[in-house]
Amino acid sequence: MLHKKGNIMAENSKYIWQKQNWTDFFWQSEALLPLLGKARQVQGKILAKVKLFGLALAHEAQAEVLVEETVKTSAIEGAVLNRDSVRSSVARHLGLPEAGLSPAERYVDGLVEILLDATKNYDQALTADRLKGWQAALFPTGYSGLHKIHAGEWRKGDMEVVSGSVGREKVHFQAPPGEVLNEEINKFLHWWKQSSGKTEGFLRAGTAHFWFVTIHPFDDGNGRITRVLTDMALAQDEKLQMRFHSLSSQIMEERNAYYDMLEKSQKGDCDITEWLNWFLGCLIRSMEKSEMIIAKVIAKAEFWQRHSQTSINERQRKVVNRLLDAGNGEFKGGLTTRKYVSLTKTSRATAFREIDDLVEKQILIKDPTSRGRNVRYDLNWD
């Protein structure tokens, strides 16, 4: 049974929000200093590389990270997005070429818009209306699946985080009841404003993440909004309108550990050292992975620079870009004539002719281990 905060004594409380003064968070600084130092070191390497980018490359890198963030923050919640649709939305919002990309879905556009708003406008005030607007953008029809929800409003009733089949459910967490949400959100927003520039930036981002997801103020979309807020806190720390690493991508890889740590911390006390320790580790790993994204962007730019005088049509360019986006040898199963037809919506005869043209121009090379109808191709990265 849920109770209003403050009605239950600390010793009888199951969840952290049921404790008096539950948001008086603290941590053991000496335990976090080694990870904080490493996080700042990795961050410095990324920002040093970014400074060497021209504006065009910076936007390409931002686009890659934004596509990854959009896809993975939804995947954490079990929603599988079409990567081409995401790429189309990101390209349009950033003013990048989008020829040959699939039209973006309304939900995808909404998610891309709020991710960009949180980072490009990181210095604008965070308000209840802004949070509600973000959540409404995630559910443009007012439905989550088949269920009508209160889009753009705080939830009205109670909320449980449950797993397991019907009849064998396991309750992992119960959120604060609807009637205390205004009070809880106001307290969070006051802290957000007062802590900016005063609390260590990475620790502030980790605290904001834990605090907001524990309030769980919406019928749906709480996890995605929490991760958007975390990106905003990190943008405020770096004072950059672009993100060059995807925290959601790393959380997706460590999803089980993430949920386990959340559940443990939400049943704990105001000492959130263990949560922040996990958060910093995850953040470091996400930043280390960003080097792969940056390397991919540089490789793509160098590839097109080598072929700047090579004449190809839009269908060929679309396929080449798909291979470049996948990375060296990472296009699953390699490129085949059948996949070329599927990607470009052209005839098999045209696909044969255009692939042969790309091979002749040394853009594609044949996989020597493939034969007959199963001939595979990859980019000539050399």
Q: Evaluate whether the domain defined by 312-379 bears CATH number 3.50.50.60.
A: no
Whether 342 has a pLDDT exceeding 60, the answer reads: yes
Give the CATH H-level superfamily of domain 23-297. Fido-like domain (1.10.3290.10)
Segment holding 360, helix H or strand E: helix 348-360
Summarised one tens digit per residue, pLDDT across range 13-59 is 789 999 999 999 999 999 999 999 999 999 998 888 877 776 667 77
Q: Residues 70-94: pLDDT tens digits?
A: 988 889 888 888 887 888 888 888 8
Q: Name the 3-class secondary structure at 368.
A: coil
In this structure, the number of other CB atoms found within 10 A of the CB of residue 179 comes to 12
Q: Which amino acid is at 126?
A: L
The domain ranges of the chain are 23-297, 312-379
Say what the pTM is. Answer: 0.81
Q: Are 240 and 188 in contact (CB under 8 A)?
A: no
The predicted pLDDT at position 102 comes to 61
- CA 90/CA 92 separation, integer angstroms: 5
Tens-place pLDDT, residues 220-276: 999 999 999 999 999 999 998 888 888 998 999 999 999 999 999 999 999 999 999
